[in-house]
Structure 1
């Protein structure tokens, strides 16, 4: 008999602190009803603690909630009155403070109320799972494990599952399936060692950076300039990350390492520096206290100087010579230059890398099931673009290993433990190969998880060292796109341009792909191999015609763009767009014209042309006017106003769920939580449309518009915004043109127009704006600085 399916109907989260509340928020984002528990409040409503936490969720930026409605599905509860609610929960996640004694007390209280099949998991960042399991009744232990979310849970891809010796294999598989597909997470299975995988290595890396900064006398702001995006790491780099996490939280994780890892050869390093303890004692806890390692003084950013024991003017940058070394694309050459340089900042950077390589090489056997888990943990949990083992392998395994060994022998490294024998094997080329990633404990290569849920990931995350051949078989390719098939009836097309901007090559390629799809395939899917979906039209490609004042060529380009949008709408095969990341401008217009959109939750969709002094010219104004007409209950103008404001204010949906509320996506469009499942779901939707006997929509014979009276009404409100100085004169001019286009031009209210009529108005207004000096200044500023100009 086959095993029955694991369905999560409801979840309980125990603990309404920052992590508990945000885990609850992400569960309801995923349409999982959630009961959020905390202690009964001493006065007022007994659910007061939870109600306050839920209220805080609505105000946080970036928002833990994907849409306003989600929060309504969190049920507040307290341990005194509501423990009976636990029996209906398929999963219970405990997320109280990191105190083993408090957790044990809570387990004794809740265990009798758990359903007999309920999975019980602790969200701890480093406590022993086996020790915590001992506090559970024997009947609960097979269903108990660690589940470590990273902060903030909506946005961080990593979740570590930590089994204890009694955890049932089937239960762990069910939990992993739920985390991967429903919550969209990247899961690694960690060993039950202090701080598990990501925090153990990520926090070590921060401690090594702090120690080496002191050793080489590098200021904190200079460290952050050198260890952020220049190394493929988040903007918050090192010290700003500590501020964001909270200096007290960071110190707590370090203390866990100090208390639980006495035998670690690097144990002397696991101490919060004296200056950090002083800041914490002074209440300077980081971002949440508005001061930490950094603090703002008016417009000036100050940084703490431990030598002076006070804040000094911040903003110092790394030396240009060192930054030039970091620009070298060949990793082997880059590391050679860093190691050979006598510049303290270069020596500092080499030392930081060396100490992390030393640590992961030494500890791989005891902290992770294989090297791939280490790299994914650091990429997904700490936001590095390349994991530490990948970095080492990419720079030449043997050479780096020899240099690290040399520095250990010379007493230069932070730890003096020798590198393990496997690191120094003469034929070792690295740890990642097509056959799997190296497990130092067994000395074998470990392949990918065979859990069924991963069959949905047609283009899974890869590590450097695995073959990165393009997916599927190429059917057509030009300079702008690659169209391929994975052996079914769907043609998939991906853009090759930078940030997937849409220029003439992309439009040529899409037209060719549609010709092929109509001729030989059942459907077309537009899917990018990585985010963003598209930043919009490639303005740079228009520049030559623009500089020569060749307006006919530009109008022709806009006409082709519009024709492309219309072809996506009316092609003879269903077109499905699969979005993630930015979906801006022309990219958004293509999405608006697709038959169906499969959108990753973190899709940020918007018609942002106003930022460069233009209006949507690829069918965006037309599309919103049509949607307003379809929704109007006799009053076209009131239905249109919301759409008008969305374009005029360049509003961007901050999630796919919000994009549905704003009208960028339809209710029938699909929201997917795991970006690696996008292509699988998009192809399934495309085939479903085709197999249902797809026919393109019939062209509208005419829909009503608000006319000149509607445009006049909108412009009246714009005058108030101009006089209140909420918008500039050029904003007013642009918005007036948008109103004219969306209201159908100089016609009576209720006049029936067709799509081509509105496209003509769009095109004319687009060219008018392009000729305007202030728009030209906005475009030039965006192309040179990447930032919008308000003029």
Structure 2
């Protein structure tokens, strides 16, 4: 049957339920969020009293930071109610998601009510992480069981991309296929098919990893701060590393999962590692459960001067003390290595305590994952997908094993007393030397059953540019242009934070030139953590501090000219931003024929934070768009003022959807791709669509209406008001006046039509003059030193 999801019921409004509801609302789905009636409320009480629990929970979710909503406007899609009065309304829903307390008896009571009102064929799923899915369906009707399975979202649902799909023996295969597809395409998830085993995939491996770290830590006599330094970004894991992750998730949750695996997995060869250490029992007995109780492995406090301080728990004394910054020779040597895979090799080869710890950790991890296939998953790639999407690992465990050498690690593990599953030895015996390989831009995984490599599902929808290393058509030290098929080229660069300097601008021009000569268009994107943090401010600072203003002028002209080439090339150029797309990264997006932005794109013109105005065409582009938006129904200055404020306050959209509200993305033209992994394929598809529709080079604009003095006075008055109200510093005001001058087209006596170059010249002159200001240089220097601008 053809299935569409127009309305979803979420039963249970706790931390997970309310945030799952917000995520569905964020993609435009109607949501009915229900919870129990407070105990002391009468049956005939007003709806407001009966819905207090659900309404309070939803408001708490909406106010939380980071926001569970892509845009606050999505809140209109959520309606609330209670189990007593509104359970009947689930009859109008296409999918019912149960997220009540983790007790089998309570869940079964809810399912009994659901069966009274649910229409046949409606999906019914549970978000449980601690109760076997097969137990939950016991006693239910055949139609219920056919459409029932586990859908385990990770918290917070908007930001953690993992969705584990856990079918029962009775679940219809078509239901599983639908949920795998819907979770991927519409919810933006990495959907992983998991077996109904304790803790499923991600928590089984993730909690094992933490328990193995506890074990090695004790053996080697390491402190919490030392372990955090060794298990965070240095090995491609989140900043929260190990102990901070436990504090965020809840130490009681960690203990519960570990005990659950130990009790319910008698055949697990490593179950001894899931035993709870004495010091961990003490922590839980003290109710030091992490963030939820105000202290765990870390404790926030105030220092003598009133400043915030984070203390670390000493596991020997059970007392908190100041955090220490550990130093390991191996880590110091590896830090400068930007390529994670090369860095991992250097770290595991280390000859100090850090190297020994990381060897032990990887030996234990590799041994464990080898034995979990096929227990928790038939395919090894699902383990990697789950850990990357659920725990934020940059690369999966099997891919890490590939990086360090499968055969080399197997020999070292066996020598150190770690066992390896027999299928790994069998794989090596066939002549296969890795778990993954790449052919023609497609990633393949080793399939144990057939002892051969198979393509990862959805390969065409997930384009990873670095998989096209054998399709490079041009390369420099900073960038590469790839042939990504169908006569479309792809450009990515790999500078620090993907900042944009002269080498990147050269690559953009080269990529467009190659596409014009031999292709149908160009996709600009990258596989890094962020699209671009903006222009290379180090280069700007160097030119400015040495008063090389001719060089700086030339650099700004080159930036502007490159952005204009993005706009006026003879082939379509589509940009696919994600993560940070700030300053110059935003300007490049603004000039593209189309933007295919990931939902998690944080985009904006932030140059005023360092004391300059957008100088790569961003100011010009906002004036152009303001001109196009002016209409008779409201004063022309309102449209310009809104655009001015976005730049003057360095406003950044907190999602691709919010970028529509800011006018960075154009409604009905640019696209938001909820699944991060699909954005490059969507951009390629857009290039082909534009080309096949008969793409012609746009005509440069000469009809941009600027308002001159009529708007300049109003903007100056607003700036002075901000200054007098102490909302802006003197330098903020100076920069804002320069911005206002450019956006009004200068000190013109009346509204005038101008061309793009006129505005670009004004923009460049203002940028140059501000680079001569001492306070601007102080701001740039602060960003270079600390990563944060100062207010001076």
Change (3 A) 1:13 1:568: same
- SS of structure 2 residue aligned to 1:121: strand
Q: What secondary structure, in the 3-state scheme, does the structure 1 residue paired with 2:603 have?
A: strand
| Matching of residues 374-523 of structure 1 within 5 Å | 374-408=383-417, 418-424=419-425, 427=429, 429-433=433-437, 436-438=444-446, 442=449, 444-445=451-452, 447-448=454-455, 450=457, 455-459=460-464, 468-470=467-469, 473-477=471-475, 481-523=479-521
Please give the residue correspondences for 1:68-467 in structure 2 after superposition, counting only pairs within 5 Å. 68-298=72-302, 299-313=308-322, 315-324=323-332, 326-327=334-335, 330=342, 334=346, 337-338=349-350, 340-341=351-352, 343=353, 345-408=354-417, 418-424=419-425, 427=429, 429-433=433-437, 436-438=444-446, 442=449, 444-445=451-452, 447-448=454-455, 450=457, 455-459=460-464
Q: Deviations over 1:28-67 (max 9, x none)?
A: 1111212212223343532222211221122111111000
Cα RMSD after superposing both structures: 2.8
The 1-side partners of 2:347 and 2:661 are apart by: 49
Equivalent in the alignment of 1:710: 711
Of 508, 532, 535, 1:534 maps to 532
Please identify, of 634-643 and 605-614, the stretch whose mean Cα deviation from structure 2 is larger: 634-643
The alignment partner of 2:534 has SS state of coil
- Cα deviation code 1:296-346 (max 9, x no counterpart): 111221122232222222x212233242365477578646644x54x3x54
Listed as ranges, the gaps of 5+ residues in structure 2 are: 42-47, 303-307
Q: 1:684 to 1:40 in 2, by over 3 A?
A: same
Pair 1:764 & 2:769 matched: no
8 A contact 1:708–1:740 mirrored in 2: no
1:465 alignment partner in structure 2: none
128 and 523 in structure 1: CA distance in 2 versus 1, 3 angstrom threshold? same
Q: What is residue 21 of structure 1 aligned with on the other side?
A: 18
Secondary structure at 2:599 match in 1 = strand
In terms of mean alpha carbon deviation, does 747-756 or 113-122 score higher?
Answer: 747-756
**Gap change, CA 1:388 and 1:682, over 3 Å in 2:** closer
| 2:664 equivalent in structure 1 | 664
**How far apart are residue 254 of structure 1 and its match?**
2.4
Closer, same or farther in 2 for the Cα pair 1:631/1:201, shift >3 Å?
A: same
Contact kept, 8 Å, 2:468 with 2:483, in 1: the verdict is: no
Structure 2: distance between partners of 1:214 and 1:290 = 25
Evaluate the alpha carbon distance shift between residue 259 and residue 635 of structure 1 in structure 2; reply closer, same or farther with a 3 A threshold. Answer: same
Q: CA deviation at 1:458?
A: 3.4
Tell me how many residue pairs correspond in the alignment: 766
The SS at the match of 1:134 is: coil
SS at match of 2:49: coil
Query: Would the aligned equivalents of 1:636 and 1:705 in 2 still touch at CA under 8 Å?
Result: no
Distance in 2 (alpha carbons) for counterparts of 1:353 and 1:484: 34
The reply on whether 1:783 has 2:784 as its aligned counterpart is yes
1:567 is aligned, of 552, 558, 565, to: 565
Contact 2:15–2:61 (8 Å) recurs in 1 = no
Please list the CA deviations of residues 589-628 of structure 1 after superposition, one character each: whole Å capped at 9, or x if unmatched: 1211223211110111011112322210111112212222
- Which has the larger displacement, 160-169 or 485-494? 485-494
